């Protein structure tokens, strides 16, 4: 039941600006929509911490810097779940961006990515499979920041 209340509250928050009457719209909605952040939950296999840390500090950081140089993302971060409860990821990887790209934009970016990395989709996919030896990615979520209107 609790999740239904949370979902309803979230839906009402997002719908509030469009559901207000014209006279109420004269008063601005008190929150301002901002950037998006994608969060990936990563589970590290026993004995895989060093290998994954090396990947993050090396190849992953280079990839993020390339995306940042292209303006595709504005920031990226690594968070370690210090007090992970049973079933929670060990690491969270984030990427922040201002807009969600369209399908056509994603196609364009994929071509630029392949040219930059000098790797085919098949090679990139194989590398992802290699990382499965020491980590498992279990889902992502996308959040949108809202700030208080001043």
Structure confidence at residue 77 (pLDDT): 98
Structure confidence at residue 12 (pLDDT): 47
Q: Which CATH number fits domain 33-148: 3.30.70.370, 3.40.800.10, 3.40.630.10, 3.30.70.100?
A: 3.30.70.100
Tens digit of pLDDT for each residue in 57-97? 999 999 999 999 999 999 999 999 999 999 999 999 999 99
Strands (E) across the chain are located at 31-44, 75-80, 91-97, 135-148
Domains of the chain, residue spans: 33-148
Structure confidence at residue 42 (pLDDT): 96
Structure confidence at residue 131 (pLDDT): 86
Structure confidence at residue 130 (pLDDT): 79
Q: How confident is the model at residue 24 (pLDDT cuts 50, 70, 90)?
A: low
33-55 mean pLDDT: 96
Structure confidence at residue 26 (pLDDT): 60
Indicate the pTM of the whole model: 0.76
Closest CA relative to residue 143, chosen from 33, 6, 54: 33
7-36 mean pLDDT: 66
As to burial, measured by CB atoms within 10 angstroms (0-12 exposed, 13-18 middle, 19+ buried), residue 91 is buried
């Amino acid at each position: 039941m609790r999740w239904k209340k949370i979902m309803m509250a979230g839906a009402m928050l997002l719908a509030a600006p469009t559901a207000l009457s014209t006279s109420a719209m004269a008063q601005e909605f008190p929150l301002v929509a901002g950037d998006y952040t994608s969060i990936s939950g990563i589970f590290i296999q026993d004995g895989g911490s060093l290998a994954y840390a090396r990947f993050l500090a090396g190849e992953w950081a280079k990839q993020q810097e390339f995306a940042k140089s292209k303006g595709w993302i504005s920031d990226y971060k690594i968070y370690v779940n210090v007090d992970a409860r049973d079933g929670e990821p060990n690491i969270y990887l984030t990427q922040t961006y201002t807009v969600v790209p369209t399908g056509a934009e994603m196609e364009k970016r994929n071509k630029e990515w392949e040219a930059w990395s000098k790797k085919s989709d098949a090679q990139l996919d194989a590398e992802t499979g290699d990382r499965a030896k020491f980590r498992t990615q279990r889902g992502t979520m996308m959040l949108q920041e809202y700030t208080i209107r001043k």
